[in-house]
Each structure stands twice: as C-alpha cells, then as structure tokens.
Amino acid sequence: MSNLVSDLVSRGAKSVPAHFVRPVGDRPSVTEEEEGSSTRESSFTMIDLQGLHGPNRATILNTIHEACKNDGFFLIKNHGIPDDVVDGMMEVSRDFFRLPESERLKTYSEDTTRTVRLSCSFNVNKEEVGSWRDYLRLHCYPLEDYVRDWPSHPPSFRQTASEYCIRVRNLVLELLEALSESLGLETNHLNDALGGHGQHMAINYYPPCPQPELTYGLPGHTDPNALTILLQDDVPGLQVLKGGKWVRLNPIPKVFIVNIGDQIQVLSNGVYKSVLHRALVNSERERISIPTFYCPSPDAVIRPADGLVDEQHPPLYRSYHYREYYENFWDHGLNDQSCIEKFSI
C-alpha cells in the first residue's frame, strides 16, 4: 500500500492519521490566518524586472536591497518567462499527480540522496510528525545529466519541465547579478561563489485535508539553498514570518515569489535574511506549488564575502563546503530553528 498522502485521501480518509497531527502548541492558528489576511501580499515588495537594465537600475537595486534585508521575500513581474511555459509546467505537474498510483510509484523513494524521487512529507526516515504533502523532487542542472531519469509520463513532462528549468535558471542568473550589485559587490560575485552551481525543483502536491487545523503542508522552515523561485497555482497556502506574525503571501497571476536562502544569508554576512515560511492546507481544494532551489555545487566553499567583512562587521559564519550544509539540512529536519545556526561563529 502506498505511503503517499494523495492515495490516503483517495481512499476516503475522513480524519488526519495520528502521525500527521502536530503538537497542540504547534498547530495552524485560524486567528493568525484571519489577522494576516488584511496585510498579505500587499506588504511584500513587487519588483518590475522590465526596468532592471534601463536608467532606473540603481533605484531597482536599492529596492531589492531593502526587501532582502528586511523581508527575505519579494515578488517579481515582467520576468521574461512566457506564459505558455509557466502554464505548461503547472499543467504537466497536475497531470503527473493524476496518474495512476502504479505509474507514480515508479519514482517513489525515501532516499534523500536520489536525484529524482517521489516522496511524501519531508524526510520520513527522520521526522516524528509528518506533513500533508506529496512531492516530486528533480535535480535540474546540468540538465543533460538528469533529464533522462525524469518521469516519462505524462508524455510531455520531460520536454515541458526542461524548457521551464532552462528559463528559470536564466532568470536566477540575472537575479544573482542584481543581488551582487545591490550588496555593493562585483556583479559576478554571487555567481562565482556558487562554484559549479546546482538546481533542484520540487513539485509540491497538497491534497485536501479533512482536518487542516491539525497539520501543515510544511511547517516553518528556511531554505538551505541560495535563492528560491516559487511558482504557485491559484490556491492560497504560503505564509511568511514577518514582524513576528505569520503573513499570507497569496498567488498573483504571472508573478513569481523570490526568497533568500541560507547560503545568501551567509555570503552576505547576515545582511540579507533567509526567513521562516510555511505551507497551510485546506479541506476543499488541492494545491500545487513549484519551487526552484538554486544552489551552490556540493564542492563550493561558502563564506561571507570579503567585501562585507571588516573590523566593524566581523564574519558571522565559518567557511564550509555546501555539501556539509546540505547533509546537515536533511538530518536537521524542518523546524523553526534554522540549520544555519550550526555554522555561526
């Protein structure tokens, strides 16, 4: 029998099994959700990338700087990825999770080192409480090293997802240059700091939950990578910790959400913040989100940029290989204590 949450739901589950139930003090708060609804996405900065290479570049870079320093999240529009590419990625993702169980399970694995795998929750081998999520995780760069192992169904999956991954990578490279300049560093600093680069994508599937007040799609966590680009369908669920409160960040058509990961917090010597965020579920509608996690290569040495360290600003983190950090992240699990603290000086 499948361990997938979606198959549990399809078998008619009327309540949340015990191993998904969060402790009483760590459950979604309906009151918090209602209070956050009035401030939601309007309280996060929207960046129009159309003007990034024009005369207003300095102003846009300053806006990015303030968003990364204060919120760790911002939104981008006019990002250059065509609507048909975005819509196609969402369509094949939805089609994948509608495949028969036997087809989906061909990629199922609980081995976190696998470069292509379908699984549920986060790390079922380590966690005590599960999360109401199935996900397909794919390594995407270099694309030619991985694409042949991706699911062959739906038939258009590999071609559609490949096009999306290539487009998102180009967008990330543009953003890395902007982030470098916004920190006062050389344009290529962050690009070079990531070594040979890495790119992963998760297709998160959150089925309707019979008791959404008892569990999370994902509990509060920060991202271990450098930069995350998030595509969402039209169902709300993302919350970001801002000003000590959980604030909704609802989907906006044709807009991506960008968030700073732990590696850029380290590379910026703490100037830019990797902040807690979480996913809620609901009882009525499935939800799909597709984050692209842009990473250093495993052998990249990560440390605060020399240009951001002096007597008044000593290094806050020790140097390490990204491989060490990534392994710690999967062992550490998802909780409100970021893995980054283990690397603090």
Give the span between the Cα atoms of 45 and 40, in whole angstroms: 11
- Supply angle C-alpha 262, 34, 276, rounded to 5: 5
Taking each helix axis as running N to C, give the angle between helix 83-97 and helix 157-182, from 0 to 180 degrees, rounded to the nearest 10: 120
- Series of mean pLDDT values for 10-residue runs along the chain (345 residues): 83 91 86 46 87 95 98 98 98 97 92 92 75 96 97 97 98 98 98 98 98 95 96 97 94 97 98 96 97 98 98 97 91 73 93
- Per-residue pLDDT at 128: 83
- Per-residue pLDDT at 123: 66
Give the span between the Cα atoms of 179 and 188, in whole angstroms: 10
- Supply angle C-alpha 116, 111, 215, rounded to 5: 95
- Per-residue pLDDT at 283: 96
DSSP 223-266: -SSSEEEEEE-SS--EEEEETTEEEE----TT-EEEEE-HHHHH
User: Is the sign of the CA dihedral 109, 296, 248, 42 positive or negative?
Assistant: negative
Query: Which one, of 295, 256, 338, 323, lies nearest residue 113 by Cα?
Result: 323
Residue 86 in tokens: 């975005």
- In contact, 219 and 131? CB cutoff 8 Å: yes
Give the span between the Cα atoms of 254 and 83, in whole angstroms: 7
- In contact, 119 and 137? CB cutoff 8 Å: yes
Model confidence over 66-85: pLDDT tens digits? 999 999 999 999 999 999 99
Residue 314 in tokens: 């000593």
Task: Count CB-CB contacts under 10 A for residue 35.
Answer: 14
- Per-residue pLDDT at 13: 86
- Per-residue pLDDT at 337: 65
